[in-house]
Chains A and B, each alone.
Chain A
Amino acid sequence: MLWDGSAYAQINGESQRPRNTTPESRRHNAEPRNSGTKHTCSQMCPESFSCNTDLDACEFPAPRSVKLRSLVIMKRLYIGGLSHTITQKDLKDRFGKFGDVQDVELRTRRDDEGVPYKTFGYINLEITDAGFKKCMTVLNKSKWKGGTIQIEQARETFLQKLAQERHEAAEKIQSPSVNHKDKLVESMKEAGVENFHMKAAVPGTEIPGHKDWVVSKFGRVLPVLNLKCQGRNKFIKYDPSKHSHNIKKLESSAEVPDPTPVSQLTWEISGGDDDISKKRRGEFPPQKTPLAKKKKDRPNQVVANGQSDRVKSCGTSEKGPTVLKSNGETRPPTKPKQTPASKKLQTQTSVCVFDSGDDSDGDIRMLAQRSTPVDGPVVDEDEDNLEVVGDNYIPRTFLTQQKIKDVCQLPGGSSGKNEEDYDSADTDEILNSRKTPSGTKQDQLPEVSKTQEKAEVNKQTNNLETDRTKEKKANKVLPKKAVKKVFPTKKTPSPESDSGDGEDDDSKEEREDSYSSKAKRTYNVLPKKKAIEKSTTPSESDDDDDDSEEESDSDSSKTQKTGKKVVSKKKTPTSELSSDDSESYEDTSEASADSEYEAMFTNCQRLAFSLDDLQQLVKESFLKGLDRDSDDDDPGSDSQQPGPNRVSEVLGMEPRVTAPEAPVPLAKTGNGNTPEEILAAIFEEDNSDEVREKKKKGKKKTNPSTSLPAFQGTKALLATSPQSLKRQVEEDGKIKTSTKKQKRDRLVPSKPSASEDDAKTVSKPSDTKGTKTRPPSSSDSEDTTKSPALRRKTTLKAEPGKKSVPAASSTSSSSGCSSVESEMEEDVPAKKTQKAEVSKKPQTAGEVIDAKQQDNQKRLAAQEQRQKEAELQKKLIQEALAKLDSAADGKHHIKFSSDEEEDGDEEEHTSPVPPNPKKTLFQNSQSDEEDSSDEESPARGKPGLKDKEYKKLAGSNLFDDDDDDDDEEEKDGDRFQIKPQFEGKAGAKLMQLQSRFGTDERFQMDRRFIDSDDDDEPEMELSQPERECELVEEKKKSLDILNHLLNINVQPSDPNKPTAKGKAFRDISALQYDPTKEEHAAFETKNDKPKKDSKLARKKKREEAEKLPEVSREMYYDVSMDLKEVFGTSKEEKTEEEEEENVAWDKEEEETSQPMAVDPVTVSSHLSTNEGEASSGFKFSFFGGDTAADTTTEREEYRFETLKGAKVSWQVDPRFQDSSDEEEEEEEEAKEQTDTTTPTAEPLASKKAFFFFRLDDERLKEGPKAFCRSSKLEDQREMWEEKRTGLIEEYRKKHKDARRKLKTSQRN
């Protein structure tokens, strides 16, 4: 039973059929095989010998080569060892001699690189045996085209095989398969075998005629079998006769009436109607399509049912076949095939594990039950979740994470928010750890913090900042550099600060800024330009002010400052402000944070006003202030102050405005009893702040916030002052105010006019912190001292309405206010009315009115700010990067300046003369002259305070000079910069040398002192690239290895070419052409195509270009010759005229130059004047020591005129042509020399050798003539007209002549 399926029987070692056997012989051969198979069958069911019927099924395929005509056979030959160049035709020709070539098939094997390494072919050849032999002998192993031909017989192509098989199948059907059996039986019968039984035959006897048939026990005739061992190639001859001893004859066998052939054996199993038996019979209930969707949707829940179902189905489906095959057999765990795509199948497979070997339904069910509750869900889930992912799978989460990271890394608002969050934690460590705290950031980017929460945060940050500043204070000395650097930035903010001032001052009138107004209502009365601004709807804050005590006043002042800050775009103040407000004024506290917020934004909008507007405002206010003052009912000292004073005040107020957080510094500066100390502390703070800002911001010129830090100090001072300093301030207040005014005056006059650029004036004060800081403090103090009265006045003012209450103008500031108000009225009547209305109402009313507008404004402002924010961020980054170096420089300067300043302070104390006495004095005098009113001010009037005043002046000057100091300090900075000769390594050596001699000037080290033989340096430099080379080589090597390893082609990228750059995505649609960018040159359509020309072509062209001018010259000569001939007669006349003209010109020269020239002597002689003029023209480089230097400067005007004349004299064209004809000169020369004569030209030629002019250069003498009018215009005109007539006549004549000539020539 072993060899049912796997055993392979072969008979008698007839393993190979001869190919070219005739059908008869093949049939003969086939016979025994058939019998063999029959035998196997019989052995499978030994009882029935009559299982002949399935011989067909067992039969081997019939012989293949069918085509046989006489002797010609179709052969398929393999031809190997061909050269790669051989074609099918070659083969055909070659083998055509031996037979009829039916088909040629050529194949070439190629390796991975496509190089053929083997070529062979198959040929279908109709050939006779002899022919084939001949062919083999002739062609086999012969050399053909570089290859040794190998010829073998090949199997038929599969097509042929297929065709043959079909053919044979058809044949077989025609010829009944019974034939073989019958024949066998027949032939056996001849040998005495009946029905495979041979009676009375000894077992083991061969049947005559049938070699392979043996008689076995009971006379049965059985075939001898050749059995192939399993796994081995040996064949075992199985002689049934030798193994037949144990066979018993079954009686019943005889009874089998009709042995059914094996092929007809059915596998039918009779059974009951139950499921299993049905299934065993192969009858399956209609299969349910598994609930794929359900499962997918809720794998966990469905698991129980679905699994059981699945299990069943699996079990049944697999059971069927297995049962059919063998009943008792235990199945190995079957792995059903899955289509990877369907998940359902996957799940099935996972479950299938359980049904291995279990046939019964009960078991399966049990399994299902077991699996479902316990581990079913888990496993199932797992199975369900198994994903297979493509190579290009990109994890989504990963991407998103990255994005988030990127966002976080952006320095933009998001980070800012985070930072804010951090800030909320009040720890200093956080601040310290983070170099750029949100506070500063917010300062820089005020727009960021728009929401109230942010404002609060800002508050905190402010506190933090102050802490920080405190810390830094100790360490940092006043850095002047920082100040300097900030200056430019401040310039822009200053106008804003002005506006802020205006607001503050106007606060009485303009109450729209509910928050600031309350705080502001206060003392500072300054002419406001802002009043004119529409956004400000006047609101009366004054009423509130009055009640507040002094403390509250101080607070208010602080708040004011903060408010100003806000104006200048600091967020921090708002918070402070709000807090302060709440503290000081409960009634005003209604002004909600929103209102403040809005106010902030309104302020921001105001900032958008152009400088020009501000300037205009200032001017107007100034003028008006003058008028006002004169008109003012109150004859107070202030009223007498002239306009400029007020302006100066306005300017002065700005610093105050900028003052930042008051309270904290106050608390910190415990020692600040004296204003100076406080100031110093403040300065330090400021500086530190500035430095910080610088570091972080870089330049924020556009950003107004930069100016803020500078002002912090003042604010602090103010804040501190109110309590501790109040007394002092009160005492000094008047003096200070006066001084302050003076300073301001100074500032203003320093500019040509008070009405000059507002921005400039403003910028100056803002720049000079020192001056400002002090004056504000003083003013504040003054304000505080005066506060009670003033307040009352202001309140009065406020209540009646606008500036209609001139009483308020008792103080200068108040007067300014009033003036501004008047301005407002005049300029914007509508607004005035509005203001009036609003002013009557309390703040809240103003809010209500503008609620909607403000909302809208808020929104707009938010948008704007967002944009600005983005821009600012960009800028900040850029600038910060760009300024890294400069910042380092700044530190130097800061230290230096701070020292200086401290000294200055000391000096102030000791000596009344400021460090820069000259300038200050000068300015002072100017200011004094201009502002008489200043002197009249009470403070000034006090003689005892003069010292202080002076001091202030000095200080102010000190700080005023900051602008100038900028230059100086830059020079200082230069001092610290490495001098060019000390740069580099060689420079360092030189430096060492120099250090040996100290600063002795006699031993100044020069470049020449550098040893020329420092070889080590270049060596060092060389080693660097060498190493790089090594690395590059290493890289190459490793890439090579990689190439070998992976069979890929990796080329080292060019290190100079950043590959990432190329990959960077660019939105072309967003691209804008920027002519300044080099990259964008690609977008330009270039007109010059010749660039593409090869070198040769270029050379040729160059040569041509070189040749061309020569050619043209010749042409030129020819033409000139012609002209000469043509105009030969006229030339003489002209030269005469020229001579005349020359004379006339000389005279003219004298005439014209005499009145103009300062020095008549120089003019007297033609040459000398020329020289002088010439020298004036060119002196600057070549005739530095010329005596005419003095005169030249004054003669510039003259030169101007002469130039004009020259233009006119240019009319004399023909002359010029003539002169140029004679010598080729540079065009300039030709132009200048309108009257060149041969004698002058000769020296010129000789002098051409000199590159520069010489002192007595002919050209210099003649040049000026071209610029001078040689004669009077009328004369010239007359002459010209005369000449013209002559010329016309001449021309006509010549024309006629020419015509005539032409005619004659034509006739001829």
Chain B
Amino acid sequence: MRPLTDDETKTMFEKLSKYIGENIKHLVDRPDGTYCFRLHNDRVYYISETILKLATNISRGKLVSVGTCFGKFTKTIKFRLHITALDFLAPYAKFKVWVKPGQEQSFLYGNHVLKSGLGRITENTNQYQGVVVYSMADVPLGFGVAAKSTQECRRVDPMSIVVFHQADIGEFIRSEDTLT
């Protein structure tokens, strides 16, 4: 477990900023305590200082997970967000997409969000903007990337994809073994 290098931090922040923009600062600079990002097994964990201290007692090999896993660095040193980061993305998300109840399940099974399932969308969403997907009851379901801008979303036919699926809370079950 080690702190992120500058490059890694940059990559990760770039990724995060697609979803929460400058709200990253709220993650980094929290009023309720010191939190930090730590790299462990190519995964980035968001840990409070207290837990970090506790985690020092566990050897690197034995440490499975600590704090909240935000995602992992791929072999090509790109950062991939995991669904576990949703708890921190959702409150700060700048662009949101609400999915109709009918398509909730579809999304939670890992499918993209179609126009027909799009219940609501934040205005001025650009294409390929990272969005957090909510159910109509405002339960965060996951996140993805807007396949169409808001304007385009109005025009496209119902079967066209509006949001590319990236992660959903169904993964907690589907990929239980890989999520840490």
Contact = CB atoms under 8 A, between A and B. Distances in A.
A398 B34 CA distance: 27
30 contacts: A340-B154, A383-B158, A386-B118, A387-B120, A388-B150, A388-B154, A389-B120, A389-B121, A389-B122, A389-B123, A390-B123, A391-B123, A395-B138, A1031-B49, A1035-B29, A1035-B36, A1037-B6, A1042-B24, A1042-B25, A1042-B28, A1045-B17, A1046-B21, A1048-B25, A1050-B22, A1050-B25, A1053-B29, A1055-B34, A1058-B31, A1059-B31, A1060-B31
Contacts of A1027: 53
A1045 B32 contact: no
A1052 B25 CA distance: 8
Given A349-B155, A382-B100, A1031-B34, A1052 B29 contact: yes
A387 B138 CA distance: 14
A564 B122 CA distance: 64
Contacts of B34: 1028, 1031-1032, 1035, 1055
Interface string B120-158: 111110000000001001100000000000110111011
A1027 B31 CA distance: 18
Contact of A1038 (B17, B28, B98, B115): B28
Interface in A937-985: none
Contacts of A845: none
B5 to A, nearest CB: 10
Interface residues of A, number: 45
Given A379-B116, A1031-B49, A1045 B121 contact: no
Nearest to B31: A1059
A1039 B123 contact: no
B10 interface: yes
Interface in B40-56: 49, 53
Contact of A378 (B14, B31, B115, B116): B116
A1034 B25 contact: no
Contact of B154 (A346, A1031, A1045): A346
Contacts of B72: none
Nearest to A1058: B31
Interface in B99-124: 100, 115-124
Q: Which of B9, B14, B117, B151 has the most CB of A within 10 A?
A: B9
A667 interface: no
Contact of A335 (B4, B29, B155): B155
Contacts of B123: 388-391
A239 B37 CA distance: 75
A391 to B, nearest CB: 6
A386 B31 contact: no
Interface in A362-411: 378-379, 382-383, 385-391, 393, 395, 397-398, 401
B45 to A, nearest CB: 14
B13 interface: yes
A194 B130 CA distance: 72
Contacts of A353: 157
A753 interface: no
Given A338-B154, A1050-B25, 10 more contacts: A379-B116, A387-B98, A388-B154, A389-B98, A1032-B34, A1034-B3, A1038-B13, A1042-B13, A1046-B24, A1060-B31
B22 A382 contact: no
Contacts of B53: 1027
Given A338-B154, A1034-B36, A1046 B116 contact: no
B82 interface: no
B114 to A, nearest CB: 9
A200 B74 CA distance: 83
B22 A1046 contact: yes
A349 B154 CA distance: 8
Contacts of A1032: 34
A378 to B, nearest CB: 7
A1060 B13 CA distance: 24
A1031 B95 CA distance: 31
A134 B59 CA distance: 83
Contacts of B22: 1042, 1046, 1048, 1050
B116 A382 contact: yes
- Size band of the interface chain B makes with A: 35 or more
A350 interface: yes
A1123 interface: no
Contacts of A387: 98, 119-121
Contacts of B138: 395, 397-398, 401
B96 interface: yes
Contacts of A386: 115, 118-121, 153-154
Contact of B124 (A379, A391, A395): A391
Contacts of A350: 157-158
A842 to B, nearest CB: 60
A1053 B31 CA distance: 8
Contact of B9 (A379, A1028, A1037): A1037
A1048 B17 CA distance: 12
B94 interface: yes
A830 interface: no
A1115 interface: no
A1057 to B, nearest CB: 8
Nearest to A1039: B28
Contacts of B9: 1037-1038, 1041
A335 B160 CA distance: 15
Contacts of B37: 1038
A379 B158 contact: yes
A1038 B53 CA distance: 20
Contacts of A395: 134, 138
Contacts of B120: 385-389
B54 to A, nearest CB: 13
Interface string B153-171: 1110110000000000000
Given A379-B116, A385-B119, A393-B122, A1031 B36 contact: yes
A1193 to B, nearest CB: 59
Contacts of A388: 120-123, 150, 154
A347 B177 CA distance: 45
A390 B29 contact: no
Contacts of A1053: 29, 31
Contacts of A393: 96, 122
B145 to A, nearest CB: 18
Contacts of A382: 100, 115-118, 158
A1065 to B, nearest CB: 16
A220 to B, nearest CB: 51
Contacts of B21: 1046
Nearest to B7: A1041
Contacts of B134: 395
Pick the 9 closest A-B CB pairs, nearest first: A395-B138, A387-B120, A398-B138, A1050-B25, A1059-B31, A388-B123, A382-B116, A1048-B22, A1060-B31
A338 B28 contact: no
A353 B157 CA distance: 7
B29 A1039 contact: yes
Nearest to A395: B138
A386 B116 CA distance: 9
A1058 B119 CA distance: 38
B52 to A, nearest CB: 8
A749 to B, nearest CB: 59
A395 B123 CA distance: 15
Contacts of B100: 382, 385
Contacts of A1045: 10, 13-14, 17
A1035 B158 contact: no
A228 to B, nearest CB: 34
B30 to A, nearest CB: 9
Contacts of B13: 1038, 1041-1042, 1045
Nearest to B114: A382
Interface-centre pick from B10, B29, B153 (highest chain A CB count, 10 A): B29
Contacts of B94: 391
Contact of B10 (A391, A1041, A1048): A1041
A378 B37 CA distance: 46
